[in-house]
Amino acid sequence: MKNLISLLLVVGALAGGGWLTYFGPYYMDSYRMEEITQTVALTWAAFTKQRAETELLTQLRDRDIDYITPEHCNLKEMGGDFLVSCTWQVDVYPPLVAGRRLDFTVESVASKDGRLVDD
């Protein structure tokens, strides 16, 4: 019984490590995109839309997120607030299992006075 529990723990640890290896980087990029959209929304509130678009490109390049491009993002003004929304998909193919498509959407809103608006 003790060996069975140990075996289950080892298998669980290997499965978790495999999940982190293949899917983890994309979820980390999603968290980094939350920071990027916030920065871009605040830049737009403080300056111009063109400057915000430049900031988006700079942030993606500086953080080495090369599979997400500015075309995945939409900047629009809504009732005086500045919305930055990014949507993208990633196909992940770990060995021995079928591939999986991950869908991500991240958005941030800044008010004209330069504060992030909570959803």
Residue-averaged pLDDT of the chain: 89
Q: What are 53-90's pLDDT values in tens digits?
A: 999 999 999 999 999 999 999 999 999 999 999 999 99
Spatial separation of the C-alpha atoms in residues 81 and 45, rounded to whole Å: 8
Q: Is 113 helix (H, G, I), strand (E, B) or coil?
A: coil
Number of residues written out for the chain: 119
- If one counts the domains in the chain, the total is 1
pLDDT score, position 67: 95
Residue 63 φ then ψ, to 5°: -95, 5
Residue in 90, 117, 106, 103 with CA at minimum distance from that of residue 22 = 90
Distance (Å, whole) CA 74 – CA 89:
15
Range of the domain at 17: 2-117
Q: How far apart are CA 96 and CA 14, in angstroms?
A: 14
